Amino acid sequence: MTGQNVMGSDAKTLQDNTCRSPIGTRRRVRARRTIDGPERESVAIERSGRRVFKTTSVDMGASKVTVESVNQAVVRAEYAVRGPIVAKAREIEQELAECAKNGKPSPYGFDKVVYCNIGNPQQLGQKPMTFFRQVSAALDWEGLTQNGACAAFPSDVLTRVKNLRENISGGTGAYSESKGVRCLREAVAKGITARDGFEANVDDIYLTDGASAGCHYLMNVLIRDDTDAVLCPIPQYPLYSAALTLYGGTLVPYYMDEETGWSLNLDHLKKQTEDARAAGKNVRALVVINPGNPTGNLLSDENLLEIAQFCADEGIIIISDEVYQENIYAEGKTFKSMRKVVFEAGLDSRVPLASFHSISKGYYGECGRRGGFMELVGAWDAGVVEQILKLASIALCPNLVGQVTTSLVMDPPVEGEPSYELYAKERDDILSSLARRAKKLVSTLNTLEGVVCQEAQGAMYAFPNLTFPQKYLDECTAAGKVADAEYCTRLLLKTGIVTVPGSGFGQKPGTWHFRTTFLPSEEDIETVTVQLCDFHREFMAQYK
Ligand SMILES: Cc1ncc(COP(=O)(O)O)c(C=O)c1O
C-alpha cells in the first residue's frame, strides 16, 4: 500500500508513512505502539533494507482503530463451530498441559479435551491416504525421487509425479493460473464426468482453497446490499450465515423437516420465498447442503429435483455444497449430485448451478491442505462468470498443494495400478469405520431420555434433538443463558468433550440440539459415547 492510497481520512497522521529518504531510497515507516500509551509511538524505519527503531511522537488520536470503528459486518459475523465453547476448550487444554508439565493432577474430571466440534478428521487421529501423500511429497521435493530414493514409491506414483512436473509450470512453488493449473482441472473434470455420466468442461472448474473460498466468491459477487437474499437450509453450516453477514446480504431460512429425516418441504420453501419477496427481498440464490451439515441427512432424489425445478422456475441460482459426497453411510443409498439432477432433467439451459467439493472431508480429510473446487454449469450470465474469475484473480491462485490433492481425490488410482490395492483398503477401512461409529453414536443417543437423534446417513455429525426439562429452561431464562449453549458448556466442563450448540446452526424456534462429530477413533468413540450418556443422565436427574 502506498502513502497515497492510505491518505484521505487522516492525511496528517499517515502522509509520512511512505516517503523518499534523503538518499533517494524508499523508506517505509511502520507504527508500533509502545508502553508510553496511545499518543506516542515507536516507529520502525526500514532504510535500504536495514531496520532502525526509533521513538517519535505521532498523533494517533484521530486514527485510533477500535472494534467500534472497524467493519461492523465482521463484528456481527458469527461462526459457532469455532465459537466461545471452543475458546474455553483451548483454555482448559492449556491448563491441562501446564498441570501435566508440573506433575500436578488435572483439576477437571478428565485429562484431555476431545474436539468433536468440527469435521477435522486428522486432528482426531485419522491417517492421511498414502497415495495422496506420496504424490504430494515426491512432487514437492525432487530429491525424494533421485539417487535411488524412488524405490520408496510405487511406479504409478512416480509416473504421476513425472506427469505433474511436466505440466505444472514452475512447480508447486509458483503461482498458477487463477482458476488452478489446467492439467489438475482436467483431472477434476475427468472425476466429475465419471461420477455423473455427463461430460464436465475444464473451463467450468475453479480450484479453490477449500469449499469456503468458493462460497466467499459467490456471496461477494451476488450481494449488493441487504435487499439481496439467499435461501439457506436451517439448520445450516454457519459459513453461509457468516458470509451473508460479512457481505451485507439477508439470509432467508427454509427449515428442514426433522421428523422426516431432515427432508425438504417444497411448499414451505415456496412460502419462505414468497414472504421474502413480499418483504422486498431479491432472492438471488438457494444453498443446498447435501449430505447435510449439521443434520447428517441425505436428500432424496425427489427433493433434489424439486429444488432444481423450483430454482429454474423462479430464476434462482443453485449453490450446491457437496463436500460430504463421499461420506455416505445409509445402506442402499448413494450420492447424487445436483449437477446430475439438473442435466438429467434438462434444466441446465434454465438454471445456473455452482457446486462445491472439498479435500477436507470424504475419506481423505485433508482439511489443513486447503483444497477443493467450484464448478459453474448451466445458465450463468457470462459477465457474472467474468466477475467471479476476477475475484479468483485478485486472490492470485489457490495453493498448489491443495490443487494437486484435489486432482488426486477426483482422479485416484484405478484397479490394476500398483497403488490401487492399498488405496482401496485405506479408503474402505476409513469409510466403514465411520459408518460403524455413526451407527453406534446415534443408536446410543437414542436410548437417552429426552433425546431423539435422526440417522446420520452421511457427513460426519450426529445432531440430536434435546427436550430439556422445564425447570432447566426456566433456570436458563432467568440467568439469560441460551439453553443448548449452556448444556454444551457444562458437557465440556464435565467431560472435556467439545460440541456445538444447535443455536449456532439455527434451529426451529423452541427446539434444542447439539452437534457432535463421530470422528474420534473407534476406541475413543466408545469412551466419548459413555461420557456423553453419563453426563446426560446426570443432567436429567438433576432437574427431575
Ligand atoms: C457443509 C460444509 N461446507 C463447506 C465446508 C468448508 O470446507 P473447506 O474446508 O473445504 O473450506 C465445511 C466444513 O466443515 C462444511 O461442513
pLDDT at 79: 82
78-125+431-542 against 192-326+335-410: fold identical:
no
pLDDT at 17: 31
* Arithmetic mean of pLDDT over the chain: 88
Look at residue 1 and tell me whether its pLDDT is greater than 50. Answer: no
Kindly give the number of the ligand 1 atom that is closest to the alpha carbon of 119. 14
pTM of the model: 0.86
Look at residue 55 and tell me whether its pLDDT is greater than 50. Answer: no
The sign of the CA dihedral 282, 288, 292, 293 is negative
The alpha carbon of residue 387 and the mean position of all alpha carbons in its chain are separated, in whole angstroms, by: 23
The sign of the CA dihedral 537, 540, 543, 544 is negative
**Ligand 1 pocket test target in 288, 360, 515, 516 with most atoms within 8 Å of CB:** 360
The CA 211 to ligand 1 mean position distance, Å, reads: 6
* Percent of the chain at pLDDT exceeding 90: 81
Kindly give the number of the ligand 1 atom that is closest to the alpha carbon of 208. 10
SS (H, E, C) 411-467: CCCCCCCCCHHHHHHHHHHHHHHHHHHHHHHHHHHCCCCCEECCCCCECCEECCEEC
* Rounded CA separation 407/400 (Å): 11
Pocket-forming residues, ligand 1, beta carbon under 6 Å:
119, 210-212, 237, 239, 289, 293, 321, 323, 358, 360, 367, 372
Q: Is 78-125+431-542 in CATH node 3.30.365.10?
A: no
Look at residue 51 and tell me whether its pLDDT is greater than 90. Answer: no
pLDDT at 499: 95
pLDDT at 36: 40
* Beta carbons of 218 and 435 less than 8 angstroms apart: no
**Ligand 1 pocket test target in 115, 212, 461 with most atoms within 8 Å of CB:** 212
Best CA proximity match to 262, nearest among 298, 237, 231, 289: 298
**Cβ-based burial of 268 (10 A; exposed 0-12, middle 13-18, buried ≥19):** middle
pLDDT at 142: 85
Question: In the numeric block, which cell numbers belong to residue 377?
Answer: 454449469
Look at residue 472 and tell me whether its pLDDT is greater than 80. Answer: yes
Dump pLDDT digits (tens) for 92-127: 999 999 999 999 999 998 999 999 998 999 988 999
**Ligand 1 pocket test target in 361, 369, 519 with most atoms within 8 Å of CB:** 361
Give the least confident one: 93-97, 125-129, 150-154, 262-266: 150-154
Query: Which residue ranges make up each domain of the chain?
Result: 1-64, 78-125+431-542, 192-326+335-410
* Rounded CA separation 460/516 (Å): 8
Centre a 10 Å sphere on the Cβ of residue 24 and count the other Cβ atoms it contains: 8
Look at residue 436 and tell me whether its pLDDT is greater than 80. Answer: yes
Fold of 192-326+335-410: Aspartate Aminotransferase; domain 2 (3.40.640)
pLDDT at 18: 30
Q: How confident is the model at residue 60 (pLDDT cuts 50, 70, 90)?
A: low
The CA 399 to ligand 1 mean position distance, Å, reads: 17
Kindly give the number of the ligand 1 atom that is closest to the alpha carbon of 371. 10
pLDDT at 50: 39
Q: How confident is the model at residue 62 (pLDDT cuts 50, 70, 90)?
A: low
- The order of strands in the sheet holding 250-255 is 205-208, 372-378, 352-358, 317-321, 282-289, 228-234, 250-255
* Rounded CA separation 228/355 (Å): 20
Dump pLDDT digits (tens) for 299-354: 999 999 999 999 999 999 999 999 999 999 999 999 999 999 999 999 999 999 99
